Amino acid sequence: MQAAKNRKIIHVDMDAFFASVEQLDDPSLRGKPIAVGGTSDRGVVAAASYEARKYGVRSAMSSKVAKRKCPHLIFVQHRFDRYKEISSQIRIIFLEYTDLVEPLSLDEAYLDVTYAKKGLPSATLIAKEIRQRIFEETGLTASAGVSYNKFLAKVASDVNKPNGMFVVTPAKAQHFIDELEIRKFFGIGKVSAKKLNDIGVRYGRDLKLVDRLELTRMFGKAGNYYYDICRGIDNREVQPSRERKSVGAENTFSHDLFLDDELKKQLVIIAEKVWERADRSTIKAKTVTLKFKYADFEQHTRSKTIEPYINSKDKFITESLKLMKSEGGFVKGIRLLGLTLSNFLFKEDENDAVQLVIEF
């Protein structure tokens, strides 16, 4: 435990990244409420500027709801190539300080600077220097959390957002956790937070009173995580090579689809896009998952695993169409379809899979 508390972890989180890039590149958008994505009536907000967030506009919100909350909201088409370009610039800055960089997305990452490559031996000063360099080299602001583990660093990065920093030292960690609202615990979602609130658990100090057995009974394996984090225990290491777990694509339609022919056509288009991405990444997947959302926003998924793996685009399309028709097809109009390939076949598995085919 003592060794774990000697680690120096930084979580860097860019402030309203997509929206901030758009405001950076188009000065006329600065200081205005903007939403990236969601440009059609059936669209969904991918990101919102802080000016838009003041009105309650959030990512994953439908365009109609966002517009209702903020009538003068400006919608901007996303430019992922541009976001990736700036994300790469930021990653280069990180790697000057440590090789232990674990990106979570384009706009956030963990850094283990216990043995930093440059700078003073203070994680706080390194985080301050990194934030300053990001601003000088990209024109964007970032927030940071500093502590001795990933959980605390992640939570800390939200405390003084935007363009701020917060440090949780080992000596102050337990008090910080005790006073932290359950809804702000990273790893405890809205549903789990409500279940905890319903039994009187509203702060970290309350969570400490629930024994491990009860938490695992209520939440399964996650209960062990909850038991540990409310005591400041998180021994996960920063993993610089995070392997991709899935590849997918989805489409929200401008009008609800009912006809089988229309749905089949759209599913094939999505499947071809997913297969192109998988083929480009030279991955082999065993599991295909169909995601669909009805007009009333009710969402479902259906999955199937193929052994030894899905070996062609035609096979992928065929299995996707079978999933669409399973369980009697769809019972209502469809507003969204998505497909995902996952459960990747790795090199060591591939030899076993080939051997299996030969035997049979």
Report the length, in residues, of the chain. 360
For the record, the structure tokens of 335 come out as 């507003």
State how far the Cα of 241 lies from the Cα of 244, in Å rounded to an integer: 9
State how far the Cα of 134 lies from the Cα of 353, in Å rounded to an integer: 46
Residues 6 or more apart whose CB falls under 8 angstroms from that of 108 comprise: 11, 12, 13, 14, 157
* Catalytic pick among 22, 51, 102, 108: 108
State how far the Cα of 16 lies from the Cα of 140, in Å rounded to an integer: 10
Contact 24, 140 (CB under 8 A): yes
Whether residue 181 lies in the annotated active site: no
Burial class for 57, CB neighbours closer than 10 Å (0-12, 13-18, 19+): buried
* Helix or strand run (H / E) with residue 50: helix 50-53
Spell out the SS3 assignment of 306-343.
CCCCCCCHHHHHHHHHHHHHHHHCCCCCEEEEEEEEEE
> Helices 222-229 and 212-219 sit at what angle, rounded to 10 degrees?
140
Handedness of CA 209, 212, 217, 220 (dihedral sign): positive
Burial class for 216, CB neighbours closer than 10 Å (0-12, 13-18, 19+): middle
Nearest to 78 by CA among 51, 39, 40: 39
The maximal CA–CA distance of the chain, rounded, in angstroms, is 66
Contact 48, 162 (CB under 8 A): no
3-state SS class at 129: helix
Catalytic residue numbers, as ranges: 108
